[in-house]
Structure formats: structure tokens, C-alpha cells
Amino acid sequence: MIRILVGGTVVSAFCLLGEVLKPKSFAGLISAAPSVALATIPLTAAAHGKTYVSLEARSMVLGALSFFAYAFAVSRILIRWKWPVLPVTSVSLLLWFASAFALCYALLGTVL
Amino acid sequence: MSLATKIKIDPSGLGQSHWYEYLIRFLFGGIVTALAGVIAKRYGPSIGGLFLAFPAILPATATLLARNQQEKKQGQDRNSAQKGGGVLRGREAAGVDAAGASMGTIGLAVFALIVWKGLPHLSLAVVLPLATLAYFVTALSIWSLRETLWRRLREQFRMLSRHSDANPHRS
């Protein structure tokens, strides 16, 4: 429950920041802010210690690279073909999952 | 033109959102954060860490941004609703937002890198603010570099166009 409250608050704060910033491409930077990480890391560190968080952060690098692939694909599709936003942003999440797990398997030797 | 003159804070953007949009973002962010914790607990830090960089904000903000831009455009020009101009403009705005996010992900990777390498040696109170600052600096630098290069390319293209218009027989 506390994760939902903290996560919701941090994500909302970054969303508000993104709304007031112009131009839109600059505001878009905030969409990739480490909001989930900032909400999660202090709680995880308190529960499991710094070494555990460090291991999570190692995987987070791969998650961030997958996020790049996802955001780049979404931007190209929306700007070039102007397909509906919700299906594009939702279905493209499959790209994030595929990329993240493939990188995790290739570089860390684990998937599950 | 300096970078400072280009980036603006416009509080009027806050008025464009409905209360339930804030609620959707809050719930979306909260659920993703909770899920990241549950996945880490179930499958360990290697898999759980991936979800610390899950695109939590982008799908929600892009959808709401597209709708707000569409409503704004249709409010400006009633005919655009019939032509679908507002819809297309909204989708394009969401695309620009996602392009910005793709630049921000490099900053996110730097954030993760600093936490990964820094946390075993330094305290969380030092590493987390440092990593957050590094995220902002990296994302801002990449954005400004891209803007500068893009502006120069456009200017060069404009100069070439003028040159070929002035000397139509030379090309």
C-alpha cells in the first residue's frame, strides 16, 4: 500500500513538471524520469540493503535501454503514420518486454 | 539564442487537465511501483530491476496529451473536427513527447549506472540525489545538442534553398 502511495505521488509530481514545461519535446524528457526508481529504491534499500539495490540498478540500465527502443519506436510511428495513441503506446510495450528480457538473458544470463 | 530562452515554464498547461487525469496518473504510477516491488520479491533483483525503468508515465501522458491537443485544436477551429485535423495534431504532439522521452532514457540509463556503481561504496543519501542530478544534466544536454544540430541543419537547408532559387540555371 505504501508503495502505491509513494509511487503515485512521485509519478504525479513528474507528470505535473512535464505539463508546465515547454516545448513539448523538452517536457517529454520528464516521461523518462526515474520516477518508479525514486519511489522504490529507498523502500527496497531499507528492506534488503544497498547491495540488493545495486543489483537492481544493474538491470535497470538494461531496462532503460529497452525504454529507449520503446520511446523511439512510439515517436516514429506517431509522427510518421499518426496512428491512434493508446493502441500504439500499449502494443509497443511488447517491444520493451522483448528487449528487456533479451538483454537480461544475453548480458546477465538470466530471464526467470 | 540561449538555451534559457527556449525552455519555458507555462502553468496554464495545468488547467488543461481534468481531475480524473491526475487520478489516472497517480494510480498508474502507484500500481507500476507496487508491481516492480512484487516482481523483485518473486523473481529477484535482476528481473525486478528491469521494471525500475518500465515506461510508467509515457503511455498515460501521451494519451492525455493527444486528447488535450485535439480538444485545443477543435476549440480553435471548429472545422478541424470534421477534417480530423485535431486528431492528427494530437497524435503528432504525442509523438514529439515520445521523442523527448527517448532522449530522456539516456539520462535514465546514467541514473541507473550511478546507483549500480555508486551504492556499494557510498550512502543512499549521497547516491540518489547525485544520480537524479546526473539524469537531469544528461537528458538536458542531449536535448539541447539535438535542438542545436536540428536548428543548424534547418538553417543550412534554408540557405541552400535560397541559393538555388537565386541561381536556378546553376543547379
ipTM of the complex: 0.92
Q: Kindly report the pTM of this predicted structure.
A: 0.86
Nearest to A44 by CA among B36, B129, B110: B36
Within 55-114 of B, beta carbons closer than 8 Å to A belong to: 55-63, 65-66, 88, 90-109, 111-113
pLDDT more than 70, % of chain B: 84
With contacts defined as CB-CB under 8 Å, which chain B residues touch A95? none
For every residue of chain A, DSSP letters joined together read -HHHHHHHHHHHHHHHHHHHEESHHHHGGGGGSSHHHHHHHHHHHHHH-HHHHHHHHHHHHHHHHHHHHHHHHHHHHHHHT---HHHHHHHTHHHHHHHHHHHIIIIIS---
Do A46 and B164 meet the contact criterion of CB atoms below 8 Å apart?
Answer: no
Residue A75 predicted with pLDDT over 80: yes
Q: With CB atoms and an 8 Å threshold, state whether B104 touches A93.
A: no
pLDDT band, residue B84 (cuts 50/70/90): low
Q: Please state, rounded to an integer, the average pLDDT across all residues of chain A.
A: 89
Give the tens place of pLDDT for each residue, A2-37. 888 988 898 888 888 877 877 777 778 888 999 889
Min Cα–Cα distance to chain B from A106, Å = 13
